[in-house]
Every structure is written in structure tokens, then in C-alpha cells.
């Protein structure tokens, strides 16, 4: 996260779409560009993905999921396509919100793969992040379960009563449960538990398409599933386009990247994830005042 008074002002400039001073890159040295060097075939995608994407059990599981409408191996890329044309094509032919089944009266769910909090250097790197369109949202929150939980149980409408996550330290318990939201009262409560209360899960993954990052394009998928039957309830697929920021070494700044025009995720505000998930998991509760 940006640090200090000057950098807080800088963050506001970025979020408001205002130009940045060129002295920014001179004051903060940039890390060397990241590169993918090894790729592996996965069941959930037609393209091999970087090994970094499946380096954790949660990543392996995410990329093993077969969804009802996978992207085709042929992305439709044509030699000589500009980044804008390729992005427009991917958005038109592949992006969208796909709801296969809805269930009512859901108390909460298991957030199966909480993203790490990306740094400024991560957000300026073409390859470092797996799904920058998703991960950028979590730079604006503290790296704590109760902060991530607010995305789903602190919007200004009907809410889930709890969200569960993998515990960061398995020795203390298998899962963390966030609960106890009351309007205008913080923080929420957390507890370490050994068993999940959730019947349903939410997980995300990056989406690899031919020549995507070379064109400053990054794809992602959110997946809602039944933890017991492994049935897929819904998928949100989106693409992000960067490469338009002149004062970073590669013109990359994923924080202000464009989303697909036809996507419900048109900005980086966290409520967009809630808007997607409630279409397949209808919350049981209203807000307790």
C-alpha cells in the first residue's frame, strides 16, 4: 500500500484519474520486471499457466476446476492486433457473468483463496500478479480476515452473517470465521474453528490467453461452487487492460486498468464482488442496526 502523506495524496490522484507528477518514479526506484519462465498444464484452462499460479494448494484447486463454459483454446487473436482491439475482442466473445444455479437463505460461505495484498511494485509489473483485476482491490484493505470479510458482510443492503477463510496458521485452527457485523460498529469478530460451517465456496483464478500480457491484458475468473457436490453455481469472467500510464517503466498500473464494458465489474470498488455472488447465493439476513 502507498505509505506516508505524499503517497496517500498520490493514491487519491490515481483513483480519481488525475495525472501524476513525473517525480514519482524518480523518488521511488522500480523493481526489475518479473518474468514467467515455467508453465504447467491444468485441467481448468486450455493454455498452460505459470507455475506460480499453482504453487499453493488453493491455487492448484482453483485451476483444476472445470467450469460449464470454459474459454476456447483459440482466443481469436490475429497477428498485428492492437492491445485495444484484442481486449475488445476478448470482452465481446469471452467475458461475462454466468449464473447456472441460485440457492436461497445462505448464511455465509467459504472464501477459499484470499489474495495477498499487492504492493505498488506488483501493480506496476506486467507479469507479477496472477489476476491483477481482482487482486488490486485488496491493496486498499488491510491484510486481515475481518477486512476482507467486509467486502461481503458490510455492504449497504442484505448481508451474509459470516465468511470463512483458511487459517493462516494451521496449528491454531483450520479456518477463520468472520462474523458479528453491526452497522456502524467495528471491528467484527473472528474465531478460529476446525470445521467449516459453509456449504458453498468462492474462489478465483487468473486466466491465461495467448499474447495477453504482451498486450497489457489480464484475465480472471471468480467461481462459486457447492463444496459438497463440487457443482459450479456461477462464474464471473473479466479482462483488464493496462499499458496506458506514461510514468511507469512499462506503462503498467493495474490499479487504474479498464474492465470489459459488458462486465458488472466496471470499477475497483469491492461491492462488485458482492453484487456477483448474491446472484447465486442469496443471503439470509438483513442488516442488524
> What tens digit of pLDDT does each residue of 154-210 get?
666 668 889 999 998 765 669 999 988 776 666 678 899 999 999 999 999 999 999
pTM (2 decimals)?
0.84
The answer to whether 239 and 250 have CB atoms below 8 angstroms apart is no
Query: 255: closest CA among 8, 15, 21, 9?
Result: 15
Cα–Cα distances in angstroms (integers) from residue 262 to residues 13, 90, 154, 203, 288, in the given order: 26, 11, 26, 22, 34
What's the CA gap between 180 and 186, in Å, rounded?
Answer: 9
Which pLDDT does position 139 carry in this prediction?
A: 87
**Mean pLDDT in the chain?**
84
Q: Is the pLDDT of residue 263 over 80?
A: no
Alpha carbons 137 and 141: distance in angstroms, whole number: 8
Q: Please list, in sequence order, all residues whose beta carbon lies within 8 angstroms of the beta carbon of residue 43, skipping any fewer than 6 positions away.
A: 63, 64, 65, 66
Asked which of 48-52, 78-82, 285-289 is least confident by mean pLDDT, the reply is 285-289
Amino acid at each position: 500500500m502507498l505509505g506516508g502523506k505524499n503517497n496517500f495524496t498520490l493514491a487519491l490522484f490515481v483513483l480519481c484519474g488525475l495525472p501524476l507528477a513525473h517525480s514519482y518514479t524518480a523518488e521511488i526506484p522500480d523493481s526489475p520486471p518479473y518474468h514467467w519462465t515455467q508453465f504447467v498444464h491444468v485441467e481448468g484452462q486450455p493454455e498452460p499457466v505459470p507455475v506460480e499460479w499453482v504453487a499453493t494448494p488453493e491455487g492448484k484447486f482453483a485451476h483444476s476446476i472445470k467450469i460449464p463454459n470454459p474459454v476456447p483454446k483459440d482466443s481469436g487473436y490475429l497477428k498485428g492486433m492492437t492491445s485495444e482491439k484484442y481486449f475488445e475482442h476478448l470482452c465481446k466473445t469471452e467475458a461475462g457473468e454466468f449464473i447456472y444455479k441460485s440457492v436461497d437463505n445462505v448464511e455465509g460461505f467459504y472464501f477459499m483463496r484470499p489474495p495477498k495484498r499487492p504492493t505498488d511494485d506488483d501493480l506496476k509489473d506486467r507479469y507479477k500478479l496472477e489476476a491483477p483485476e481482482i487482486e488490486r482491490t485488496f491493496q486498499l484493505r488491510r491484510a486481515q480476515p475481518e477486512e476482507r470479510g467486509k467486502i461481503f458482510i458490510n455492504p449497504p443492503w442484505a448481508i451474509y452473517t459470516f465468511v470463512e477463510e483458511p487459517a493462516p496458521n494451521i496449528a491454531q485452527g483450520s479456518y477463520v470465521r468472520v462474523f458479528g457485523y453491526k452497522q456502524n460498529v467495528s471491528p467484527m469478530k473472528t474465531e478460529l474453528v476446525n470445521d467449516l460451517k459453509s456449504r458453498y465456496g468462492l474462489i478465483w483464478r487468473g486466466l491465461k490467453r495467448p499474447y495477453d500480457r504482451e498486450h497489457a491484458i489480464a484475465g480472471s475468473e471468480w467461481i462459486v461452487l457447492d463444496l459438497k457436490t463440487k457443482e459450479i453455481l456461477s462464474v464471473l469472467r473479466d479482462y483488464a487492460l493496462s499499458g496506458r500510464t506514461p510514468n511507469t517503466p512499462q506503462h503498467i498500473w493495474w490499479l487504474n486498468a479498464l474492465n470489459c464494458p459488458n462486465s458488472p465489474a466496471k470499477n475497483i470498488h469491492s461491492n462488485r464482488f458482492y453484487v456477483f455472488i448474491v446472484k447465486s447465493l442469496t443471503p439470509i439476513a438483513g442488516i442488524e442496526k
